Chain A
Amino acid sequence: MWRYMMRRYSSSTSARKLGLWWDRVGPAMKDPITGVTESFLADSSPNKINLGVGAYRDDEGKPVVLRCVREAEARIAGSEFLESVSAAVSSKFVEESVKLVYGNDSDVVKEGRVAGVQALSGTGACRLFAEFQRHFHPDSRIYLPDPTWSNHHNIWKDAQVPERTFHYYDHDSKGLNFSALIDDVKNAQDGSFFLLHPCAHNPTGVDPTEEQWREISYQFKVKNHFPFFDMAYQGFASGNLDKDARAIRIFLEDDHLVGCAQSFAKNMGLYGHRVGCLSVLCADSNQVGSIRSQLQRIARAMYSSPPVHGVLLVSTILSDPYLKSLWIEELKTMANRIRGMRTTLQDSLERLDSPLNWDHITNQVGMFCFSGLTPDQIDRLAREFHIYMTRDGRISMAGVTTGNVSYLANAIHETTRSDQEAKILCNA
Chain B
Amino acid sequence: MESKNSNAKESDCDSVFEHVTRAPDIPVYAVMVAYKEDPCPFKLNLGIGVYRTEEGKPLLLNVVRKAEKLLVNELSANKEDLPITGIAEFNKLSAKLIFGADSSAIQENRATTVQCLSGSGSLRIGAEFLAKHYHQRTVYMSQPTYANHPNFFVPAGITVKTYRYYDPTTCGLDFQGLLEDLGAASFGAIVLLQTCGHNPTGVDPSLEQWEQIRKLMRLNGLLPFFDCAYQGFVSASLDADAQPVRMFVADGGECLTALSYSKIMGLYAERVGALSIVCKTADVASRVESQLKLIIRPMYSNPPIHGASIVTAILKDREMYGEWVTELKAMTDRITIMRQQLYNALHDRAIPGDWSHITKQVGMFSLTGLNAEQVAFLTKEYHIYMSSDGRINLSGLSTRTVPYLADAIHAAVALNV
On A, residues with C-beta under 8 Å from B are 1, 3-5, 7-9, 11-12, 15, 18-28, 31, 34, 53, 55, 63-65, 69, 73-74, 77-78, 80-85, 107-108, 111, 113, 120-121, 123-124, 127, 131, 136-137, 151, 154-155, 157-159, 191, 214-215, 217-218, 221, 226, 250, 253-257, 265, 269-274, 280-284, 287, 289-291, 293-294, 296-298, 300-310
Contacts and interface: CB of A to CB of B under 8 A. Distances in A.
A4 B298 contact: no
B268 A82 contact: yes
B144 interface: no
A157 B298 contact: yes
Given A121-B300, A269-B79, A293-B23, A25 B11 contact: no
Nearest to B184: A4
Contacts of B12: 255
B200 interface: no
B32 to A, nearest CB: 10
Contacts of B294: 28, 154
Interface in B201-245: 212, 215-216, 218-221, 223
A73 B77 CA distance: 13
B134 A280 contact: no
B1 A63 contact: no
B221 A308 contact: no
B360 interface: no
Given A218-B1, A303-B124, A5 B304 contact: no
A294 B20 contact: yes
Nearest to B61: A82
Contacts of B68: 77-78
Interface string B243-282: 0000000000110000000000011111100000101100
Interface in B1-22: 1-6, 9-22
B302 A274 contact: yes
Contact of B58 (A64, A82, A127, A298): A82
A28 B288 CA distance: 8
B304 A290 contact: no
B304 A309 contact: yes
A7 B179 CA distance: 12
Contacts of B295: 158
4 nearest A-B pairs in the assembled complex, by CB-CB distance? A4-B183, A272-B305, A303-B117, A120-B300
Interface stretch (B147-155, B163-171, B333-341, B374-382): B147-155
Nearest to B220: A8
A83 B16 contact: no
Which of B20, B60, B84, B280 lies at the interface centre, i.e. has the most chain A CB atoms within 10 A of its CB? B20
Given A7-B183, A124-B299, 7 more contacts: A65-B79, A73-B72, A82-B268, A256-B13, A301-B151, A303-B124, A307-B269
B298 A287 contact: no
Contacts of B116: 303
Contacts, number: 285
A136 B120 CA distance: 24
Nearest to B298: A154
A1 B179 contact: yes
B284 interface: yes
A34 B83 contact: yes
A244 to B, nearest CB: 20
Interface of B: 1-6, 9-23, 26, 50, 58, 60, 65, 68-69, 72, 77-84, 116-118, 120-121, 124, 133-135, 148, 151-152, 154-155, 179-180, 182-183, 187-188, 212, 215-216, 218-221, 223, 253-254, 266-271, 277, 279-280, 284, 286-288, 290-291, 293-295, 297-307
A302 B293 CA distance: 15
Contact of A136 (B20, B83, B297, B302): B20
Contacts of A123: 297-301
Nearest to B7: A107
A158 B127 CA distance: 13
Contact of B219 (A12, A214, A305): A12
B36 to A, nearest CB: 10
B115 to A, nearest CB: 11
B299 A5 contact: no
Which of A64, A73, A255, A265 lies at the interface centre, i.e. has the most chain B CB atoms within 10 A of its CB? A255
B298 A155 contact: yes
A5 B215 contact: yes
Contact of B80 (A63, A69, A159): A63
Contacts of A63: 78-80
Contact of A22 (B69, B133, B187, B188): B133
A226 B15 CA distance: 9
Given A19-B254, A65-B79, A304 B69 contact: no
A82 B60 contact: yes
Given A290-B21, A306-B271, A34 B219 contact: no
Contacts of B155: 131, 298, 301
Contact of B300 (A73, A127, A280): A127
B16 A137 contact: yes
Contacts of B117: 120, 302-304, 307
Contact of B14 (A25, A124, A283): A283
A196 B117 CA distance: 29
B149 to A, nearest CB: 11
Which of B4, B216, B221, B307 lies at the interface centre, i.e. has the most chain A CB atoms within 10 A of its CB? B221
Contacts of A158: 295, 298-299
Contacts of A8: 183, 187, 219-221
B301 A272 contact: no
Contacts of A77: 68-69, 72
